[in-house]
Structure 1
Amino acid sequence: MKTRPFAGPFAGRLALAAAVVLAAASCSGPTDPTASGGPEKVTVWFMKDSVTDAFLARFRTGFEAEHPDIDLDIQIQEWDGIGEKVTAALASKDAPDVIEVGNTQVAQYAASGGVRDLTDKSGELKGSDWLPGLAEPGKVDGRQYGIPWYAANRVVIYHKDLFARAGVTAPPRTQAEWLAVTAKLDRGTTQGIYLPGQNWYTLSGFVWEAGGELAVQDGTAWKGALDTPQALAGMDFYRRLQALGKGPKDSDEAKPPQAEVFAKGDVAQIVAVPGGAKIVEEINPALKGKLGFFPVPGRTAEKPGAVFTGGSDLIVPEASTHPDAAYEVVKALAGEKWQTDMAKTMSYVPNHTSLAHVIQDDEGTAAMAAGAAQGRATPNSPQWAAVEATNPIKQYMTAVLTGTDPARAAATASASITRTLGS
């Protein structure tokens, strides 16, 4: 996952016709080792900017030293158009052997029948210790197709000076404390929080924390669930928090870029991935050292609130000609050695909850890791990408924030989600 915006971070609906047309041209498959008698050539697709070149160089050298019978052909892919390219690869006969995909893309690709079932490897890979927000999207109908690789989720980034001026000595740990603290910060020219009205991934966390869902599966069918009492409670909390600032009610965190708003210095808090703080400091160097982090608060102080987990999984295509060697690559990338290296290099959350300690020295990443334990993903339907394309959740949020009856707006949004998931 490039630290792509969580609003629409994953590819949309993929057309089978496009897959067929692109299949022959899109894939660069491995060579047959029997032709030369040499090591197996395993082709791996990584996404641009997911990891540094230095990490990839270390991994290639270390892996090939431990597996002299395997040569890695690492190919970097662009996010733009990747959905069609992966679909084409899965439909071809010369697919790459390992592909990095967005965690919520797995169900979409698995539905094609072109992804290898790795359920029998879960025990060896310590699947019981995986982050739920990465493991759950990789599982379809009880079968594990995507192996969690890394994660990133939102935290609260706050302006330490503004907290101190308001007499706030410690970050809030519960939703009730968060509202009280934010109200105390929202005074004069200072915004208690900048929360755009259509930040629907943040809303998702509030809905899950309240016990609600965006959509639920009823047998083989999916239906929208924003109109349940629990989901409505999550939206009500969002409404109350959003009112303690001047965030727009009809746009998301990209319009305007919330980092630019926060960098002006008169906003006490934003909800973002920790890396957003680096962008803020680049815009306004005077804020360097003045920004802090804490996990999104939950209903009680015992654990942080639920959050959306974005990230990447690793899949092995059915068309891989080196499935055993491909699995060795996945096993290494998902294992403790390279997970630790990547977490420290990229400030990502490792795929195993037991590895959270490796990033505790970084305040922002530590807050993210604490929240990741309560991470969730969007509904595991192959059609969910189509929901994001039109995004009735954003429209629902704006409607509620501008005075529409929440129950009526939620019913409309849920009906739209149901139609799309059933199409």
Structure 2
Amino acid sequence: MPNRPVALVLASLLALSACAPGPGGSGGGQDITVWLMKDSATDDFVSRFEAEFERDHPGLDLRVQVQEWNGITQKVTSALASTDPPDVIEVGNTQVAQYASSDGVTDLSGKVEELGGGDWIPGLAEPGAVGGKQFGIPFYAANRVVVYRKDLFAAAGVTPPKTRDEWLAATAKLDRGDTQGIYLPGQNWYVLSGFVWDEGGDLAVPDGDRWTGALNTPQGLAAADFYRRLQALGDGPKDSDEARPQQTDVVAAGQVAQFIAVPGAAKLVAEANPDLADRLGFFPVPGKTAATPGAVFTGGSDLIIPLASPRQDGAYAVVKALAGEKWQVELARAMNYVPNRTSLAGSVGDDPGAAAMAAGAVNGHATPNSPNWAAVEARNPIKEFLTAVLTGADPAAAAARADQVITQALDSGA
């Protein structure tokens, strides 16, 4: 999900770009091809960005091409191996390590300070850095919040909690009669990940050139126990995730006080049950203390520059613009996404869902930064671990089994 602040490119870079001949530009300039993903930006945003970028960079002709997410991994992999790839590619933040492992992505470490890297949201910046080098430049972010029924909270005499303890207490008061205090399916591993990070742990930790699963640790087990206590305050299934059944359909039935999702899920609930449209509110996932919101998985995108692009200066000009303040703010307001910088969190406007998301984004994280992480998700032993814990199995034994699968998957290419 996108957000982009703008900064103008240095005159020297512009001069270099303007002097370099390029194929097929309508104005005789150098063509710069940019791949953006579907639904990352509105058509209006793209049109305005193209027009203003070309106005400010008269030697460059921008060509923004929208790509489908389905099949994009193979398409990007092939592009990085070609001799004339697109010049800038938007990629999922957790995919940067996979693409960087091909040695086909430009190292932008020397540009981090110029791009405001000290202010980047960790959940975008960290997965963009591989082996101590910055290959991915944060583009936009989105994360989960708690979507709640304002009327049910008021009737129970509770307000949006700030801490985990307050959250458990409030949810217990809401879990009465036919009303579920919370709908939390048993295999929402993204939510568990946040609890693990809150405890100071991780899903896996690096061990030299290899990785080791880290659920069977005090931090991982404490996170699973909190998940168990919270999940018990509703009737969510213990052996399926948020898509089976669709949790928005469950909430739309009218007997759920809160659920955890990206803010856009509230619109789906309202579409299914218009009576709930004005009854839904948002708050960040509570943390262990009121001083810091709960940790959340940061979804979103980074921008990369293929190493084989002969138009490196022009490509960097695009990245600098999209990652700069002007276009980050523009995109935040157009798409209700979180900007790439913590200092821009207030730029999302008055949308309450986006505001809650931005507040939580300051404690955002990403999955372990391994090119083999996709192999973990394919099997997803974390879901199996959660179901085991929720159905009475020994947590440590279940965690050890999950860690073994995670370790094998992450080290399969080592």
**Above 0.5 in TM-score?**
yes
Runs of 4 or more, structure 1, over 3 Å off, are 34-37
Is 1:380 equivalent to 2:369 in the alignment? yes
Is 1:200 equivalent to 2:192 in the alignment? no
1:163 to 153, 161, 169: 153
Q: Could you tell me which amino acid in structure 1 is paired with residue 251 of structure 2? A: F
TM-score w.r.t. structure 1 length? 0.92
Q: Is the 8 A contact 2:23 2:31 kept in 1?
A: no
2:198 to 203, 209, 216: 209
Is 1:133 equivalent to 2:123 in the alignment? yes
> Distance between the aligned counterparts of 1:415 and 1:389, measured in 2?
15
RMSD: 1.3
Q: 2:113 matched to which residue of 1?
A: 123
Q: 1:45 matched to which residue of 2?
A: 35
Q: 2:61 matched to which residue of 1?
A: 71
Task: Give how far 1:94 is off.
Answer: 1.0
Q: 1:228 matched to which residue of 2?
A: 217
Q: Is the 8 A contact 2:21 2:29 kept in 1?
A: no
1:334 to 310, 323, 334: 323
Q: Secondary structure at the match of 1:73?
A: strand
Q: 1:179 matched to which residue of 2?
A: 168
2:83 to 89, 93, 96: 93
Q: Is the 8 A contact 2:24 2:31 kept in 1?
A: no
Is 1:112 equivalent to 2:107 in the alignment? no
Q: Is the 8 A contact 2:50 2:62 kept in 1?
A: yes
> 1:63-120 CA distances to partner (integer Å, 9 max, x unpaired)?
1111111111111111111000000000010100000000000000000000000000
Task: Give how far 1:51 is off.
Answer: 1.1
Q: Secondary structure at the match of 1:157?
A: strand
Q: Secondary structure at the match of 2:298?
A: strand
> Distance between the aligned counterparts of 1:415 and 1:103, measured in 2?
25
> Distance between the aligned counterparts of 1:298 and 1:268, measured in 2?
19
> Distance between the aligned counterparts of 2:349 and 2:247, measured in 1?
26
Q: Secondary structure at the match of 1:394?
A: helix
**Most deviating of 181-190 and 257-266:** 257-266
Query: Residues 261-340 of structure 1 correspond to what in structure 2 (within 5 A)?
Result: 261-340=250-329
Using a 3 Å threshold, how does the CA distance of structure 1 residues 69 and 412 change in structure 2: closer, same or farther?
same
Q: 1:350 matched to which residue of 2?
A: 339
Q: Is the 8 A contact 2:191 2:296 kept in 1?
A: yes
Q: Which runs of 5+ in 2 are unaligned?
A: 3-19
> Distance between the aligned counterparts of 2:277 and 2:61, measured in 1?
43
Q: 1:23 matched to which residue of 2?
A: none
Q: Which runs of 5+ in 1 are unaligned?
A: 3-30
Query: Residues 362-377 of structure 1 correspond to what in structure 2 (within 5 A)?
Result: 362-377=351-366
> Distance between the aligned counterparts of 1:252 and 1:69, measured in 2?
50
Q: Sequence identity, in percent?
A: 68
Task: Give how far 1:220 is off.
Answer: 1.0
Q: Is the 8 A contact 2:389 2:395 kept in 1?
A: yes
> 1:21-53 CA distances to partner (integer Å, 9 max, x unpaired)?
xxxxxxxxxx96278892110000011111111
Q: Secondary structure at the match of 1:411?
A: helix
> 1:188-213 CA distances to partner (integer Å, 9 max, x unpaired)?
00000000000000100001001111
Task: Give how far 1:407 is off.
Answer: 0.5
Q: Could you tell me which amino acid in structure 2 is paired with residue 220 of structure 1? A: D
Is 1:150 equivalent to 2:145 in the alignment? no
